[in-house]
């Protein structure tokens, strides 16, 4: 169904560059599960490593936003970009990190509202108010 | 520059339906300032009222997410929808509600990262992992 | 400001392929005015001709939809694709073909509503109901 | 498959807020059928009610545009926003409201043409002609 | 599953306008296979012919870019527009025209990178540097 | 005009992390010019460095695609994502790396064509042909 092969654990074991990233994903996330995103990317070990390093740097460690807020922002972008897989995976991640049904409901309401006002603004081609400009 | 007229305060005063919404925006936000979004929408008092009522219901009162988180989600959607005016207005709103430079920097990093992985996923056409499905 | 030159009438006169299209635009639209879209495309006379031929074939002659409805559909797509120039030009065209302020207001309301429900649906990843499937 | 549960009729019966909306959808549309969009939204009775109230207000009653034109505009936005479910549901709705195969064919031709010229314009970054500006 | 019927070979044989295009597709591509895109479009022989004529004119014959580069550009646009079918069909076409796994990997890396910087730029609303402007 | 400050050379000099990236951009590109993208990102030295490292890794060195093809793919994605700044900057970059007017014209034709067929496919909701599936 995908346009690339999904690299299996056996194949990952055979390529040290892929194995190193899969090992780090498992250690960082404290789970043996590797989702299809990484199995697809593993066709290109360089992009696999760069993408995982970026994601780990942005989303983990000493962050300004809480993990659940990070995931809700991720859902918002993924929805607007119409990425079905991403909406599924980050909704699951947000729930695992504490998103309650009330938070999910409000997230969806904001996403819908923003899309509505985005389109209204674009259809009206409004000039930016001076007070919104930096300096 | 816009595709509609921007309704002035004088014009708003002359139309009770518009005046009622402008008054409520001012009272709710505790400022005399009405930004161009509402001045453009005011060409259609019915859509003006429905949009304001929706926005007030979703974004104010007893919410599950904090006001600054709500605005950051709004920025995320507006960016992915390429709405210049909306990015400007909601970045200003997020700052007014407490978004620090560190939070803004992390928000941008997540938006950029999500866009990158959204596009990688779409180009690979990955099947959703079973564990991400509800039930 | 553009990434291509805008071909002037003098330049168009010097290239028979461009001149032929500009002449046909003027004759079809019964105006001497050629907007920047065609002046930009005229850098490539082949794409200019193909695009104009397609637009004339779809939008003029014996059509199933009225000219004003055609333009409103054009505005809807242009808004969702965030094309500022296109929103401006097709809003002007829709007005010239009979779009009243009431029709414009309703068009904007539908565009906003559709964007909202599009995003809600994508965030919820809903399966298509059987009754919506053809056959 | 969805990221939320689809609320059944039995569950809807047990929640007066959901039941009231489902009853109104059935009465307004003169059918017992409730499609998945409303069953997904029903996880949040407040957003369910606000969305239905907006949709009913915009799309029914004394409108400036005919029901079939409204649905075709909805299809146009949904296509540009790449919402699969929405394209399915509103194509079915447009047919039910009188969209002929000829109208559907022309709608698709316009959507395709608009997408093409939208992208050409964005790639050329054209300045808006003065005559397209309001005032 | 589609919103239109997929025209079979038997139906195509019965309509000279459709048959002529299908014959030309087969002759140009040197294969008997007609993919679903053309079978869906064939519900409207006029759009079928115009679309095929445009595609053949742009993508075949004496072109400035090599066939594999053309297909990679097609994949890039299709990914950003979230068109699942198009990503599948043009990835297959690119492979048939010589895209190696290394080229595919680099294409995906560029698409992901571009999406990331596109979103960062939009979130920062940067003014265009003077040196990037034509003239 | 931007939502962030544009970091000047004087400010960059005062921050070793920013200075190191600016120095590397200048050395890699063999020019003293730093465009606004990097000046905006420099508000967050960590994202600045990660983004520059990614871009340098993907776009320079021993690549599978030629520099001009890389930039044309970048233009294609930026156009579909409606990023005005990005279209400007990468069109300038593509020209500097050898994009001729003929190549630019063909690029635009493909982008327009792809957008058109993307939208037609989405409006028809076509199932993917079996032959396009991997394995």
Interval A75-98: pLDDT, tens: 999 999 999 999 999 999 999 999
Q: Give a yes or no: residue D20 inside a domain.
A: yes
**Average pLDDT value over all residues in chain E:** 96
Cα nearest neighbour of A56 on chain F: F50
Residues 6+ apart with CB under 8 A from A72: A94, A99, A103, A107, B65, B69, B73
Burial (CB < 10 A; 0-12, 13-18, 19+), residue C97, is: middle
CA distance F92 to A94: 41
Neighbours of chain A (3+ CB pairs under 8 A): B, C, D, E, F
Does pLDDT of E32 surpass 90?
Answer: yes
Handedness of CA F21, F27, F29, F32 (dihedral sign): positive
According to the model, what pLDDT value does residue D135 have?
53
CA distance E124 to A35: 32
| Residue of F91, F115, F124, F128 to mutate when probing chain D, most D C-beta within 10 A | F115
Q: Is the CB of A43 less than 8 angstroms away from the CB of E101? A: yes
Residues D83, D109, single domain; the answer is: yes
User: What average pLDDT does the segment A105-112 reach?
Assistant: 98
According to the model, what pLDDT value does residue A135 have?
53
Does pLDDT of C135 surpass 60?
Answer: no
Cα nearest neighbour of A103 on chain B: B64
Q: D30-62: per-residue pLDDT in tens?
A: 999 999 999 999 999 999 999 999 999 999 989
Of the candidates C43, C81, C83, which has its C-beta nearest F101's C-beta?
A: C43
Neighbours of chain D (3+ CB pairs under 8 A): A, B, C, E, F
CA distance A98 to B101: 25
Tally the C-alpha atoms within 13 A of residue F102's C-alpha that lie toward its C-beta: 5
Q: Is the CB of F81 less than 8 angstroms away from the CB of E111? A: no
Q: Give a yes or no: residue A113 inside a domain.
A: yes
Residues B88, B56, single domain; the answer is: no
Q: Is the CB of D113 less than 8 angstroms away from the CB of F116? A: yes
Contact B133, F75 (CB under 8 A): no
DSSP state string for E6-26: ---HHHHHT-HHHHHHHHHHH
Residues E4, E39, single domain; the answer is: yes
Q: Give a yes or no: residue F115 inside a domain.
A: yes
Residues A55, A91, single domain; the answer is: no
Residue B88: phi, psi to the nearest 5? -60, -50
User: What average pLDDT does the segment F22-45 reach?
Assistant: 97
Angstrom CA distances, F46 to B116, B122, D68, F18, F39, stand at 17, 27, 52, 9, 13
Residues F52, F86, single domain; the answer is: no
Of the candidates E84, E113, E122, which has its C-beta nearest B125's C-beta?
A: E84
According to the model, what pLDDT value does residue D91 have?
98
Contact D75, D68 (CB under 8 A): no
Percent helix / strand / coil, chain F, rounded to 5 = 70, 0, 30
Rg over alpha carbons for chain D, rounded to the nearest Å, is 19
Residues A42, A79, single domain; the answer is: no
Q: Give a yes or no: residue B12 inside a domain.
A: yes
Of the candidates D4, D46, D54, which has its C-beta nearest B50's C-beta?
A: D54
Does pLDDT of E134 surpass 90?
Answer: no
The token duo for F39 is 């000046």
Residues C68, C53, single domain; the answer is: no
Interface of F with C (CB under 8 A): 82, 87-88, 91, 101, 104-105, 108-109, 112, 119
Contact C126, D37 (CB under 8 A): yes
According to the model, what pLDDT value does residue A61 have?
87
Each of the 135 residues of chain D gets a pLDDT tens digit; together they read: 799 999 999 999 999 999 999 999 999 999 999 999 999 999 999 999 999 999 999 999 899 999 999 999 999 999 999 999 999 999 999 999 999 999 999 999 999 999 999 999 999 999 999 999 865
Q: F50-90: per-residue pLDDT in tens?
A: 999 999 999 998 999 999 999 999 999 999 999 999 999 99
Query: Count of CB contacts below 8 A, A vs D?
Result: 20
Of the candidates E80, E82, E116, which has its C-beta nearest B116's C-beta?
A: E116
Residues 6+ apart with CB under 8 A from F30: none
Which DSSP letter does residue B131 get? G
Rounded percentage of chain A residues whose pLDDT exceeds 70 = 99
Residues B104, B51, single domain; the answer is: no
* Cα of F85 to nearest chain A Cα, Å: 17
Write down which residue in B41, B62, B83 finishes a domain.
Answer: B62
Structural domain of D115: 65-127
* Cα of C101 to nearest chain E Cα, Å: 31
Q: B16-62: per-residue pLDDT in tens?
A: 999 999 999 999 999 999 999 999 999 999 999 999 999 999 999 89
Which DSSP letter does residue E127 get? P
Q: C79-107: per-residue pLDDT in tens?
A: 999 999 999 999 999 999 999 999 999 99
**Domains in chain D, number:** 2
Write down which residue in C35, C62, C89 finishes a domain.
Answer: C62
Q: Give a yes or no: residue B134 inside a domain.
A: no
Rounded percentage of chain F residues whose pLDDT exceeds 90 = 96
**Average pLDDT value over all residues in chain C:** 96
User: What average pLDDT does the segment E108-135 reach?
Assistant: 93
Residues C58, C82, single domain; the answer is: no
According to the model, what pLDDT value does residue B133 have?
83
Of the candidates F89, F103, F133, which has its C-beta nearest E132's C-beta?
A: F89
Q: Give a yes or no: residue C56 inside a domain.
A: yes
**Average pLDDT value over all residues in chain A:** 96
CATH of residue B111's domain is 1.20.1290.10
Q: Give a yes or no: residue A131 inside a domain.
A: no
Residues F18, F55, single domain; the answer is: yes
Q: Is the CB of B115 less than 8 angstroms away from the CB of E118? A: yes
Residues E9, E54, single domain; the answer is: yes
Residues D56, D75, single domain; the answer is: no
User: What average pLDDT does the segment A50-58 reach?
Assistant: 97
Q: B65-114: per-residue pLDDT in tens?
A: 999 999 999 999 999 999 999 999 999 999 999 999 999 999 999 999 99
According to the model, what pLDDT value does residue D64 have?
96
Residue of B132, E80, E133 whose CA lies nearest to C3: E133
Q: Give a yes or no: residue A49 inside a domain.
A: yes
Tally the C-alpha atoms within 13 A of residue D129's C-alpha that lie toward its C-beta: 19
Q: How confident is the model at residue E135 (pLDDT cuts 50, 70, 90)?
A: low
Cα nearest neighbour of C2 on chain F: F88
According to the model, what pLDDT value does residue B1 have?
77
* Cα of B90 to nearest chain D Cα, Å: 22
* Cα of D109 to nearest chain E Cα, Å: 7
């Amino acid at each position: 169904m995908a346009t690339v092969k999904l690299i299996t654990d056996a194949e990952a074991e055979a390529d040290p560059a892929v194995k190193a990233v899969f090992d780090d994903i498992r250690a960082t996330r404290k789970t043996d599960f590797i989702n299809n995103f990484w199995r697809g990317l593993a066709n290109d070990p360089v992009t696999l490593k760069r993408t995982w390093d970026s994601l780990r740097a942005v989303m983990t460690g000493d962050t300004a936003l809480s993990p659940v807020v990070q995931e809700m922002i991720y859902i918002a972008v993924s929805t607007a970009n119409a990425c079905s897989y991403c909406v599924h995976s980050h909704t699951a991640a947000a729930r695992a990190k504490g998103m309650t049904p009330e938070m999910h409901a409000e997230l969806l309401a904001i996403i819908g509202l923003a899309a509505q006002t985005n389109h209204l603004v674009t259809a009206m081609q409004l000039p930016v108010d001076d007070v919104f400009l930096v300096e």
